[in-house]
């Protein structure tokens, strides 16, 4: 090892030279060590580790990450600065930096990690000194590892797309809700989510976004670990009951982000709140699909408060799950009620984790988001009336699969 070779060299010199020579050799050795800089964080490096000059801190971090096959997620879009003073702040960006400068994962395979000498993840930070180098190690706990993994999975769901050749394809046939839930390709392909509000929506945009939103909703429901412990019938009740709330949260957070005067969709369009600009059916006396003024109410009661909150992307994504789990679902078994309550607590904690604020401010911020659920439920009831009117007037055709979903009312009996 580098430290051993330096020590050996110093010892050899002392046995064959006078004191002045020893001082000169020691000074030269110290100068050589100072000239080496860690390629990852810029701290003092004692030599090459896994192919690059690296400090002991980055060497150990890289070894543990590769050997234990750890997965990290950045809460700031992968843009964190990796420097000596804050190299422990974001493990995702630190590992990315390690790989970028040329650290070789294959070189780790033969370098075993001794668990007895690993820091306990539940212990407070410690300080380790090697020569002139001092490395402060920040230990993350297992709960944070799981939280980061869930957030990373949600990011992947929102970014997920199907092959380009499927984007403009439709699947013909008649399908019920259960089949559509388990076979979302009959509803919509996973096209890229582009909530840019660049144009006023047509009826086609409204329909395609409703379908794409449902596929995203199914993907998110299936990502909830506790959801898989629920029986099939209760899964369907949950899926029917909570889509409306999820969809309003989704569109409203996008509206707040883009600043559009209406309901923002995932396909680059938006439904304006101004009556004269609303999309109509074809013909001289086209019919509008917003009979209750729900677009304007969404701006006042939901979008404007969301704008003031200035949510991060992670808060939007985790908040969507919280909205799904926020209210009890009627007619499910006691076991399912308990599972949903546990999931609700888990994602509320995750939402607080996303805020990255002092505890008192975090509590206030999370409370402000949760209070919006009441506004969302009002919008769900108003949009249900819109859908029923559209059905009566044959304005839009969303497909047989959505009949159960659209006619479902938030009540104690289905």
Which residues neighbour 260 within 8 Å (Cβ) at sequence distance 6 or greater? 197, 270
Identify which of 413, 381, 61, 88 has the alpha carbon closest to the alpha carbon of residue 244: 381
| Phi, psi of 279, deg, nearest 5 | -65, 145
- Region of 117 (left: φ > 0; alpha: ψ -120 to 50; beta: rest) is alpha
pLDDT score of 184: 92
Angle 313-326/232-258 helices, nearest 10 degrees?
140
What does the domain layout of the chain look like in residue ranges? 36-139, 145-407
pLDDT score of 131: 33
* 304 and 218 Cβ atoms separated by less than 8 Å: no
* 317 and 304 Cβ atoms separated by less than 8 Å: no
What would be the CATH architecture of the domain defined by 145-407? Orthogonal Bundle (1.10)
Identify which of 95, 64, 55, 65 has the alpha carbon closest to the alpha carbon of residue 78: 95
pLDDT score of 92: 86
Identify which of 383, 382, 376 has the alpha carbon closest to the alpha carbon of residue 323: 376
Q: What is the pLDDT along the chain (414 residues), one digit of tens a residue?
A: 333 333 343 344 434 333 334 344 444 444 544 578 999 998 888 888 888 999 988 998 888 888 877 777 787 777 888 888 888 888 888 988 888 888 888 777 656 544 444 433 333 333 333 333 333 334 456 778 888 899 999 999 999 999 999 999 888 878 888 988 999 998 899 999 999 999 988 888 888 998 999 999 999 999 999 999 999 999 999 998 888 889 989 999 999 999 998 889 999 999 888 766 655 544 443 445 554 567 778 888 889 999 999 999 999 999 999 999 988 888 899 999 999 999 999 999 999 999 878 888 889 999 999 888 888 877 776 665 444 433 333 333 445 555 555 555 443 332
**Calpha distance 260→298 (Å, rounded):** 12
* 256 and 262 Cβ atoms separated by less than 8 Å: no
User: What is 36-139's CATH topology?
Assistant: Erythroid Transcription Factor GATA-1; Chain A (3.30.50)
pTM higher than 0.85, yes or no?
no
* 253 and 317 Cβ atoms separated by less than 8 Å: no
Dihedral of the CA atoms 270, 272, 277, 279 (nearest 10)? 60
Sheet order of strands, 262-264 included: 194-200, 267-272, 262-264
Domains 36-139 and 145-407 share a fold: no
For the chain, the first-to-last Cα distance in angstroms comes to: 71
Which residues neighbour 341 within 8 Å (Cβ) at sequence distance 6 or greater? none
* 401 and 175 Cβ atoms separated by less than 8 Å: yes
The burial of 388, by beta-carbon neighbours within 10 Å (0-12 exposed, 13-18 middle, 19 or more buried), is given as middle
């Amino acid at each position: 090892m580098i430290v051993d070779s330096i020590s050996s060299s110093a010892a050899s010199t002392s046995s064959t030279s006078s004191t002045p020579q020893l001082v000169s050799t020691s000074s030269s050795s110290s100068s050589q060590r100072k000239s080496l800089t860690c390629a990852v964080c810029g701290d003092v490096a004692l030599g090459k580790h896994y192919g690059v000059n690296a400090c002991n801190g980055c060497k150990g971090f890289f070894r543990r990450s590769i050997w234990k096959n750890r997965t990290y997620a950045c809460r700031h879009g992968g843009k964190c600065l990796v420097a000596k003073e804050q190299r422990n702040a974001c493990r995702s960006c630190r590992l990315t930096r390690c790989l970028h400068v040329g650290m070789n994962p294959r070189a780790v395979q033969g370098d075993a990690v001794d668990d007895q000498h690993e820091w306990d993840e539940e212990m407070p930070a410690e300080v380790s000194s090697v020569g002139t180098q001092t490395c402060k190690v920040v230990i993350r706990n297992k709960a944070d590892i799981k939280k980061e993994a869930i957030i990373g999975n949600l990011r992947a769901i929102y970014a997920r797309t199907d092959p380009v050749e499927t984007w403009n394809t439709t699947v013909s046939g008649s399908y019920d809700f259960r089949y559509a839930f388990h076979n979302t390709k009959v509803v919509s392909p996973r096209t890229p989510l582009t909530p840019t509000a660049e144009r006023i929506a047509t009826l086609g945009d409204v329909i395609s976004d409703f379908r794409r939103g449902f596929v995203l909703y199914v993907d998110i429901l299936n990502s909830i670990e506790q959801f898989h412990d629920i029986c099939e019938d209760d899964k369907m009740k949950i899926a029917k009951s909570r889509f409306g709330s999820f969809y309003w949260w989704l569109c409203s957070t996008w509206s707040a982000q883009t600043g559009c005067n209406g309901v923002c969709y995932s396909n680059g369009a938006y439904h304006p709140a101004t009556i004269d600009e609303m999309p109509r059916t074809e013909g001289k006396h086209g019919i509008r699909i917003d009979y209750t003024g729900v677009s304007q109410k969404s701006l006042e009661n939901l979008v404007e408060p969301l704008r003031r909150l200035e949510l991060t992307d992670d808060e939007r994504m985790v908040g969507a799950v919280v909205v799904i789990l926020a209210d009890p679902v009627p007619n499910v078994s006691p076991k399912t009620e308990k599972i949903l309550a546990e999931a609700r607590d888990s994602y509320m904690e995750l939402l607080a984790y996303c805020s990255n604020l002092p505890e008192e401010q975090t509590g206030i911020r999370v409370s402000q988001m949760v209070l919006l659920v009441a506004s969302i439920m009002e919008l769900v009831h108003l949009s249900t009336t819109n859908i029923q009117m559209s059905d009566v007037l044959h304005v839009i055709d969303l497909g047989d699969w959505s009949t159960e979903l659209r006619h479902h009312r938030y009540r104690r009996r289905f």
